């Protein structure tokens, strides 16, 4: 294996340009690995990186991801797809690592060591080749927060032995490992704490609320509201998140940074927006809530605004229709909503 560090790359560009390299030139030829790149967020990130001119290696075990999410890049020589579980070591030579691989929804994440062992391996890889490493952490590190909205300096309120703790504590451990590799081994790292995100290519049946409601409304099934529906979440459209992740990677700051849309909705309000968007006659059905469900969640994004110059652009009522047309196509093929 050829070892290439970021410094080599920058130095190489610098020889011909007197030390000052135009950003686009420096980027040309960047090799970037996106773990979890066949998933929902990852595949949108891959689209942007490929469009920017980078070479992208997607590493995914297809646990929840799908080849269909990236198949439009298959004929591109700058794109490569590796079926691999990041819990196993991996040898690659790259400049940047976007580490997204993770079983990311309640029905998938239990009993899985990806967050800890997978993150350790990708940090080991970053250390060996001198790559920049970005961790996609989560608002779940705040647990059932006692501070509202959540600021990055808040340490959270997490049950270490609950049904969600594999995810919450797994991501908290991933953040710890990331900071340890930064301080101990000098790895250049970035941490994003992502708040609830939705959009095209989201898993249809992984149980998250936006995908559930949209699929239910399209299939003429009742929208399942858990608990009293007064708990809140703040929903971010996927393109806003991808912009934030790229700014974070390219910027100077380690983070952690909250990346989310501060527009806060109760689950009942969300159900109403879905009714307005898809079917005003859609029924609502109440179900018992899950254990340890956070009551409120809303990001304070002042830090990302100030240091990354980033804020979300797409409100729920604008983003939802874009997701609905994708879901309609995936659920009904080329047919219309009523199956005709």
Catalytic (active-site) positions:
167
State the minimum distance, in angstroms, from the CB of residue 25 to ligand UDP: 27
Q: CB-wise, 31 or 247, nearer to ligand UDP?
A: 31
State the minimum distance, in angstroms, from the CB of residue 197 to ligand NAD: 4
Binding footprint of ligand UDP, residue count (CB under 6 A): 24
**Sole binder of ligand UDP in the list 226, 307, 315, 331 (CB under 6 A):** 226
Q: Are 115 and 174 in contact (CB under 8 A)?
A: yes
Closest CA to 295 of 157, 184, 183: 157
Phi, psi of 88 (to 5 degrees): -95, 145
Could you give the 3-state DSSP secondary structure of residue 80? strand
Residues between 296 and 325 with contacts to ligand UDP, criterion CB under 6 A: none
Helix or strand run (H / E) with residue 308: helix 302-308
Q: CB-wise, 129 or 259, nearer to ligand NAD?
A: 259
Of 30-38, 88-96, 304-312, 326-334, the window that binds ligand UDP (rule: CB under 6 A) is 88-96
Cα 137 to Cα 192: distance, rounded to the nearest angstrom: 6
Number of CB atoms found within 10 A of residue 263's CB? 15
Task: Give which of ligand UDP, ligand NAD, none residue 38 binds (C-beta under 5 to 8 Å, depending on kind).
Answer: ligand NAD
Cα 2 to Cα 230: distance, rounded to the nearest angstrom: 55
240 is an interface residue for ligand NAD by CB under 6 A: no
Q: CB-wise, 289 or 302, nearer to ligand UDP?
A: 289
Of 16-24, 49-57, 172-180, 224-232, the window that binds ligand UDP (rule: CB under 6 A) is 224-232
Could you give the 3-state DSSP secondary structure of residue 134? strand
Pairing of strands 189-194, 257-259: parallel
267 is an interface residue for ligand UDP by CB under 6 A: yes
Dihedral angle sign, alpha carbons of residues 123, 254, 52, 325: positive
Q: CB-wise, 171 or 233, nearer to ligand UDP?
A: 233
Helix or strand run (H / E) with residue 188: none
Cα 246 to Cα 41: distance, rounded to the nearest angstrom: 12
Q: Which residues bind ligand NAD (CB under 6 A)?
A: 35-36, 38-42, 59-65, 85-87, 100-104, 114, 118, 136, 138, 194, 196-197, 203
Q: Which residues bind ligand UDP (CB under 6 A)?
A: 89-91, 106, 120-121, 124-125, 127-128, 196, 207-209, 212, 224-226, 231, 233, 267, 289-290, 293
């Amino acid at each position: 294996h050829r070892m290439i560090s970021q410094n080599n790359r920058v130095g190489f560009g610098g020889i011909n340009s007197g030390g000052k390299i135009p950003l686009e030139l420096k980027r040309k030829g960047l090799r970037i690995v996106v773990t979890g790149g066949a998933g929902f967020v990852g595949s949108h990130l891959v689209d942007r990186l490929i469009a920017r001119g980078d070479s992208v290696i997607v590493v995914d075990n297809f646990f929840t991801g799908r080849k269909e999410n990236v198949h439009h890049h298959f004929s591109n020589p700058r794109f490569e797809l590796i079926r691999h579980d990041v819990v196993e070591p991996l040898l690659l030579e790259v400049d940047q690592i976007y580490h997204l691989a993770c079983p990311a929804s309640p029905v998938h994440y239990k009993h899985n060591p990806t967050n800890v062992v997978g993150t350790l391996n990708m940090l080991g890889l970053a250390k060996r080749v001198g790559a920049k490493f970005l961790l996609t952490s989560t608002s779940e590190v705040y647990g059932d927060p006692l501070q509202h909205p959540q600021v990055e300096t808040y340490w959270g309120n997490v049950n270490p032995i609950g049904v969600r703790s594999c995810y919450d504590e797994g991501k908290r451990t991933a953040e710890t490992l990331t900071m340890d590799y930064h301080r101990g081994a000098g790895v250049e790292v970035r941490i994003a704490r992502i708040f609830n995100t939705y959009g095209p290519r989201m898993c249809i049946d992984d149980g998250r609320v936006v995908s559930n409601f949209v699929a239910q409304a399209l299939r003429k099934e009742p929208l399942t509201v858990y608990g009293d529906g007064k708990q809140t979440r703040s929903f971010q459209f996927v393109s806003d998140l991808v912009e934030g992740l790229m700014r974070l990677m390219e910027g100077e700051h380690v983070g952690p940074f909250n990346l989310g849309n501060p527009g806060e909705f109760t689950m009942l309000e969300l159900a109403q927006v879905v009714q307005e968007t898809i079917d005003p006659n859609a029924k609502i059905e109440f179900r018992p809530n899950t254990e340890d469900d956070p009551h409120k969640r809303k990001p304070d994004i002042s830090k990302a605004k100030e240091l990354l110059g980033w804020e979300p652009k797409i409100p729920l009522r604008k983003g939802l229709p874009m997701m609905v047309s994708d879901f309609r196509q995936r659920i009904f093929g080329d047919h219309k909503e009523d199956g005709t």
